Amino acid sequence: MGKRALYSSSRPAMPAQTAQAATPRVLPPAGAATAGSGGPSRLPPPDAGRWAHLRAWAGRHERWGLVLAGALLGLALMLLQDTWRDPLGRLTQDDIDKAVLHTLANKPLPSMAAKAYEKIRPSVVRVRGLSLPNAQGQQREIGTGTGVVIVDEGLILTNLHVVMGAPRLQVVFDDGHEADADVVAAQPENDLAVIKPRSLPDDLVPATLRSTGDLTVGDAVVAVGFPFGIGPTATAGVVSGLDREFRSPEGERILTNLIQFDAAANPGSSGGPLVTADGEVVGIVTAILNPTEHRVFVGIGFAVPIENAAAAVGLSPF
């Protein structure tokens, strides 16, 4: 009878190589010593190399990094400024018009006459004719008129009848400076005289002269002077006519090529400037037409054109 085969329930032994491959590898815990090492070892964090590289790059480019940071900060501020702006948006033309109207309603602009007066005022002087001294050495005023400085050396235009016959002349400037003056030229046919003060203020301002070539009837004008010794006084009107003639009340003199105007003028206004809306001199006030015996203004005044007046000084400004 044959032997029955016996089978073992245990697994057969595996070859050494196969057993080694099948055994899983277990990493030692952190801080555990490994074979052949002198002590514990840590594994670097996964991103350590990347951060080290970035730190090194930042160290090499620190200056440019600051510039970039400043630029980003400025951009952020600009964006915030846009955010903080008036939520109503940009100004429109209607907004501007309303603002201008509001300003004009609450603070009106100066008038034409006011601007012209302020422009010419520093150049206007009062001309006084004084008597000879009496026993006490006192002098009295025997006449008054107006003059206008037209040259920065101090030459003053006025009317001949203002200075004629006065033993002594005195001028009073806008700043209050007073000085004796002498007649240096005369033009009787235009009732003009040129006087020169013996001393001048420090801030003398000569007037600006303007040709009458483009002057027309209806143009606004301002007369500045010392009517009846009061002033300086400004009166406004318009050019009433051109190329007019005037005969003096005594019939001694006929003046021609005159500017007729209706700005009020009275005794004492003679020799004063007639100026445009820009404060530029176009004539020298010389006479008023009065059909009565009273020396008062009735609406018609005359001025010598500045071209004639400048010729009396030897100027040709046009």
Which residue among 123, 191, 240, 262 is the active-site one? 191
Q: How far is CA 142 from the centre of its chain?
A: 44
Is 248 in the active site? no
Q: Say what the alpha-carbon torsion angle 52, 57, 62, 64 is, to the nearest 10 degrees.
A: -150
Q: How far apart are the first and last CA of the chain?
A: 161
Partners of 145 in beta bridges? 127
Which residue among 131, 175, 270, 294 is the active-site one? 270
Cis-peptide, bond into residue 232, ω within 30° of zero: yes
Is 270 in the active site? yes
Q: Where are the beta strands (DSSP E) in 154-269?
A: 156-159, 168-172, 178-187, 192-197, 220-225, 233-247, 254-261
Sequence-separated (6 or more) residues with CB below 8 Å from residue 265: 223, 225, 227, 235, 272, 285, 288, 297, 301
Phi-psi region at 100: left, alpha or beta (left = phi > 0; alpha = psi -120 to 50): alpha
Copy the structure tokens of residue 278.
């820009």
Which residue among 123, 161, 240, 269 is the active-site one? 161
Is 294 in the active site? no
In the 8-state DSSP scheme, what is residue 310?
A: H
Which among 222, 242, 233 is positioned nearest to 267, based on CA atoms? Answer: 233
Cα distance between residue 198 and residue 184, in whole Å: 12
Catalytic center residues = 161, 191, 270
